[in-house]
Structure 1
């Protein structure tokens, strides 16, 4: 027997870091808030134990539970369908707290010029509001998440970071000191990682497995956000796979419908609805929710839902430094170079940030040596020598919006009969030129560190960063965007969109902090509506 219809002032689909922090803010204002999460609750201790015993430590999804009634992309599981020409790959977690369970904690702000890309450089899209409009919400997000970083990172601040950066590792110090005379300023990354006890959580102790999970919660994640939302009074219903959005004659959203794992259907009504699943699952849900009036899906009268998919189609290099720097101590992503994030050349080729990998290379080095037939004492010596000098770099490169790059409904279905996502994805010459320039900068850096055994990634291949943006893009032009600057759907006045999908541009940094800031700003408009 189906349960009785439930209701709340605000119904949020998705318990990730954005949806949960919005829920906390809304609940603290006195509103009743219900979060519908398709996946189960996640126990950090169980994830840590699984990771400890996992043989493939590079598979960041392996420690997390998989459910066929709330599927997610796993290696070779066929959840994503591809139409080419570039395969679109991403990994995300469907469970309480969402994908930031296995992120690297990077919490960068955009630059002011990132908000006016079209008006300043003649490419891409402008935002419907400015950096200054978002700045107080950036700070609100940083306080919630416990963000630290250097002040001189190009993003203006009205208040200092909540805490000082984590102490730099030896590799960070040596790379910084050696590259400085060559004109490269190596800076500590801004990150949601405790450098001291903060918000009841301990300081980072350098476990170096921030991805796939911080074993001590020194690194912030959406699971912590979800706990905060529940403490504030929000209710989370887990294993609730939303499959339909229902509107009324006035086009306002009246309810959402969800399945339990055994396909029992439930209906939830509310005054305001927020879609905060992620930049793939949210447009998929909107495209599924068709009606006589909205034949292409909820919020999709202009056929823009799912379009303008962007990521960071980055390139990489690895080489051996001419001294022992011992990467793998401290956070996995610790330091970077910012000088290529903005400039007049941006009208012709993509900007980028250069990120140094601080992941422990021992597993990869060991596998390579064994495949070469090295054993015994030679293997031990080889592991020690190679893992002490190996260094990897990647660029976080800008991609321009293209409506042809999109999320669509696939023709395969999961155990509940819900379609999987299908993609068309390409990489234009603007981004390719940015990657070409990055390879030239990589060469200078490698030479400055006495690099040998330099190995560049194939220039015709791309390593996507899992920074999914654009599919729900906000803007003032109703013909080309999905929601306005408040996050409000152009088609439905009580439907709000949140998460990385609403970001009009991908810029040169990880998208999480900006998505949280925009979500907290959207929460203000929701509170005004219900005041």
Structure 2
């Protein structure tokens, strides 16, 4: 049985990756202790926070999640200094201003729920196009874990193979639930895309479509998946925590891990954490999982230098913190000649993906295109107020902007580049822990794509929609798909973890999730992270059960 200071399996992080592995281990009869840096909160509290926000904060996804001093969010400024928690530098620093809250349940509280798989080609970038890296195994190895992940978290999607992604890749099972229908805006966008030879596919989503699943109700189209699903129709890891506890798992909130301790034969023997009173504690175990996302995981490893590991735990390759990836995003804010009416259904329900694939990838990157389906009323209201309008004129402009505006997004595939690197800043947080510092450059591979391919296509899509005004973001933005900081590979000299996300340097340390991903493709990373979690979970259970 797990105690507050020991278990068979110690999991750092309570997001989707940590929760999937924890439940898998509990089902195998193992004891599990989970540690979470941030607080544990009830859903009603987040929903009430959101309802009480003033209009100018309604578009700030993290506003309902007040940070704690010991677990700051990335843009948090401490009371005694002006620097944010996340330190950024490089030619495209803004593109790595990630968004995640440090709460029990992790970033799945406020994710869109989109579950695109990467393609077989995405996993063979070096072999096919001469850029990036190849994964250490093929898509066929990952496919069964994708399917298990879809059933574990509850993913809805189309049954027609022509509407599924990747194309021409067999699925071992259908989606657990059918797709969510398009609203009028997405239907119009689909028709426009088709005129340009593009296919807007219904997205597989971790939300319930018309039925209950795992005790969660069906989606009723609240359309505020950002910042929180008020009824838990969308999967978030917070819904898994009570189930984990019912199976005997223990969860320690407000426990900020700052050191991984190694011992004989370089095995991990403990992790150390600070509580909210700055008191240090130690947790021992047989196997350890660090699953606190692609920024916090490499940060903890780099903090954990010792005599055996002078560059940090799991870092004999000097690859911990390198190869930081996210899909560099450009956004077009569009005014239209007639109503489009986004806002019916989830905030995202479709994407154009045939633009991510092609021989052009030897020269420049592919990208995913999407029309955001969030309701525009709050955005239109704030914009109309800024014009100084009152009375009927204000009312008319709010109505016009709510109906006749849209947001188009293009997310570019990144390459794993060693100079895109997380290091430890000399600046420290409230607990005295070094803040993460990231250097980020999207590379000419992405810049050339934007110049020759994606921005021209974005403008064509806007024109076909009837745009009267198009404002494209002047710099690349973040997509919040954090990958690469503990990159996977077969060679310990050039990678951090093996095919099961086990650290090459430590037989009982696993680093699953986005940090382990070798490439990211042009799509959301969560379902790939979940698939890697289940693959790692199989290896962990086998190791603990059979040695």
Same fold (TM > 0.5)? yes
Equivalent in the alignment of 1:121: 129
Per the TM alignment, residue 180 of structure 1 is displaced from its structure 2 partner at its CA by 2.6
Matching of residue 132 in structure 1 with residue 148 in structure 2: no
Which residue in the other structure is 1:158 paired with? 172
How far off its partner does 1:75 sit? 5.5
Instruction: Give 1:444 deviation, angstroms.
Output: 1.9
Matching residue within 419, 429, 438 for 1:414: 429
2:539 match? 525
Q: Deviations over 1:211-249 (max 9, x none)?
A: 000001111111123233223322111111111111113
Unaligned runs of 5+ in 1: none
Equivalent position to 1:215, from 214, 220, 230: 230
The alpha-carbon distance between structure 1 residues 75 and 445, as it changes in their structure 2 partners (threshold 3 A), is farther
8 A Cα contact 2:50 2:58, kept in partner: yes
- Mapped partners of 1:5, 1:20: distance in 2: 17
1:451 corresponding residue in structure 2: 467
Map 1:28-67; keep pairs closer than 5 Å.
Answer: 28-55=27-54, 56-67=57-68
Deviates more, 1:173-182 or 1:8-17: 173-182
Is the CA contact (8 Å cut-off) linking 1:318 and 1:456 kept in structure 2? yes
Matches within 5 A, 1:306-345: 306-345=321-360
- How far residue 269 of structure 1 moved from its aligned partner, in angstroms, is 1.2
Q: Given the alignment of the two structures, is residue 480 of structure 1 paired with residue 479 of structure 2, yes or no?
A: no
Contact 2:189 2:371 in 1 (8 A): no
What do the CA deviations read for 1:8-52 (whole angstroms, capped 9, x no partner)? 111111111110111001110111111111111121100000001
Find the residue that maps to 2:334 and give its secondary structure: strand
| Alignment partner, residue 15 of structure 1 | 14
Distance 1:270 1:75 in 2: 33
**Following the alignment from structure 1 to structure 2, what is the Cα–Cα distance between the partners of residues 253 and 320?**
56
Pairwise CA distance, 1:508: 0.7
1:268 aligned partner: 283
Tell me the equivalent position of 1:71.
72
TM-superposed deviation, 1:360: 1.6
Unaligned runs of 5+ in 2: 79-83
Does residue 395 of structure 1 match 2:410?
Answer: yes
Contact 1:21 1:226 in 2 (8 A): no
Counting only pairs closer than 5 Å after superposition, residues 120-519 of structure 1 correspond to structure 2 as: 120-150=128-158, 151=161, 152-155=163-166, 156=169, 157-196=171-210, 197-436=212-451, 437-458=453-474, 461-519=475-533
TM-score norm. by structure 1 comes to: 0.96
Pair 415,38 (structure 1): closer, same or farther in 2 beyond 3 Å: same
Contact 2:192 2:461 in 1 (8 A): no
The Cα offsets for residues 468-514 of structure 1, whole Å up to 9 and x where unpaired, read as: 10001110121221111111111111111012111111211111110
1:100 corresponds to which of 94, 108, 118: 108
User: Separation in 2 of the partners of 1:75 and 1:387?
Assistant: 31
Contact 1:73 1:80 in 2 (8 A): yes
How far is 1:198 from its partner?
1.8
Partner SS for 1:346? helix
Distance 1:66 1:392 in 2: 28
- Please state how far the C-alpha of 1:297 moved relative to its aligned partner: 0.8
User: Contact (CA 8 Å) 2:116, 2:165: kept in 1 or not?
Assistant: no
Matched, 1:6 2:5: yes
- Number of aligned positions between the proteins: 526
SS in 2 for 1:463: coil
Question: Quick one: distance in 2 between partners of 1:318 and 1:72?
Answer: 27
Which stretch shows the higher mean deviation, 373-382 or 178-187? 178-187
Separation in structure 1 between the aligned mates of residue 4 and residue 207 of structure 2, nearest angstrom? 41
Scaled by the length of structure 2, the TM-score of the pair is 0.93
Asked if the contact 1:314/1:435 (under 8 Å) is kept, the reply is no
> Could you list the per-position Cα deviations for residues 236-282 of structure 1 after superposition, in whole angstroms to 9, with x for gaps in the alignment?
11111111111113101111111211122221111111110111111
Q: What is the rounded CA distance, in whole Å, between the counterparts of 2:450 and 2:156 in structure 1?
A: 29
- Structure 1 residues 182 and 258: CA distance shift in structure 2, 3 A: closer
Is it true that 1:111 corresponds to 2:119 in the alignment? yes
Q: Secondary structure at the match of 1:236?
A: strand
Deviations 1:41-66 (A, max 9, x none): 12110000000111201111111131
Larger mean Cα displacement after TM superposition, 416-425 or 145-154: 145-154
1:103 is paired with a residue whose SS is coil
User: Helix, strand or coil: the match of 2:265?
Assistant: coil
Q: Does 1:86 align with 2:92?
A: yes
User: 1-side partners of 2:350 and 2:338: how far apart?
Assistant: 18
**Counterpart-to-counterpart distance in 2, 1:154 and 1:202:** 26
